[in-house]
Structure 1
């Protein structure tokens, strides 16, 4: 878990793109799965842990970008040029704003944080920029903190820790640790 999240944060902060985009996290998930299989932890438990580890590896790049932007990002104003209705990954509708910076350049990403029902073209939104240009800009929302960025993956980390714990305990069969009960000879 530490390698998956730490690799994503390190990649977003300074490291190579393979760390920042979650590829390293997927490798860590595969290594964890192989390790638990070598312990003979049980295929069902290993399957649950593998799914949780892959989910964490896929969620950690966004959380890492949030951590890095919360620490070194700068908030600047951007003007809304157009608004589209889009979809949240969870299947809910979401508004997406195309914005341009103070130099008139249209940003390569559409902003959803701050793009609300009352937002119109010509309105000004606060956008969080990475001064080093390593991360794409995003709307400056209320969750621009390290804790807010990591809160989204905290549940997955807790479930993954619990799954690994149960899988490792399951791999150490108690049958071998406790002598078998024997009936007294008659």
Structure 2
């Protein structure tokens, strides 16, 4: 049980940690969830090496992929880290750029503070197809420029994405415990094997 808990905590922690780090640093490989997918792959390979059973390994793999893809988006809705501030900013322009993935367009907003001072970095998160110049976004920014600015989700703060992330992490932990316990095949009493 202890080994299963350790594997589950390390697996889920590394997947969620990669997503949170991606949100905080803006590193593309972390923001996209690719690093979390690598962590999930390493976890699955470890369980395969333990001979945990195909069904349980498949369940852990599916949960790991879901967790890796959801963690960066859920991390974006978290409270700003120390040193960051939230301020209302006015959108001055909205630009779209194709990223080559099935014709999807990513939107970036140029914003200014309420005093009219322009922000050097354009906002990606929170800027969308319906955003127009003159709209006001609640933007999280770091006055020292260590992290890129990002807009908070519009409307009231919901805990739904965080609850879903916690449920996925708990399910992954439980799956890892079951898979590791399953990998330790017990021999019947008296066989001496």
* TM-score, length basis structure 1: 0.63
One of 103, 112, 126 as aligned partner of 1:111: 126
Quickly say closer, same or farther: Cα 1:34–1:148, change in 2 above 3 A.
Answer: same
User: Contact conserved, 1:79 with 1:125, CA < 8 A, in 2?
Assistant: yes
- Structure 1 residue 124 and structure 2 residue 139: aligned? no
- Following TM superposition, by how much is the alpha carbon of 1:20 offset from its aligned partner in structure 2, in angstroms? 4.4
Q: Hey, what does 1:86 align to over in structure 2? A: none
1:35 corresponds to 2:50: no
Larger Rg: 1
1:138 aligned to which of 151, 165, 182: 151
Corresponding residue for 1:87?
A: none
TM-aligned CA deviation for residue 81 of structure 1: 6.8
CA separation in 2, counterparts of 1:48 and 1:6? 21
The DSSP-based 3-state class of the residue aligned with 2:80 is helix
1:8 corresponds to which of 14, 19, 31:
19
Q: Which runs of 5+ in 1 are unaligned?
A: 84-95, 181-186
1:159 and 2:171 are equivalent in the alignment: yes
Would you say the 8 A contact 1:12–1:134 is kept in 2? no
The separation in 1 between residues aligned to 2:137 and 2:31, in whole angstroms, is: 27
Paired residue total:
162
CA-based RMSD of the aligned residues comes to: 3.9
Runs of 5+ unmatched residues, structure 2 = 1-11, 95-106
> Are residue 173 (structure 1) and residue 188 (structure 2) matched?
no
Residues of 2 paired with 1:7 and 1:110: CA distance?
Answer: 18
Any runs of at least 4 consecutive aligned residues in structure 1 with deviations exceeding 6 A, and if so which? none
Tell me, in whole angstroms, the C-alpha distance in 1 between the residues paired with 2:148 and 2:164.
Answer: 19
Aligned-residue offset at 1:77: 1.8
C-alpha distance in 2, partners of 1:80/1:72?
23
Task: Tell me: CA distance 1:41–1:149, structure 2 relative to 1, closer, same or farther (3 Å).
Answer: same
Range with greater deviation from structure 2 (69-78 or 98-107): 98-107
Does 1 or 2 have the higher relative contact order (CA < 8 Å, sep 6+)?
2
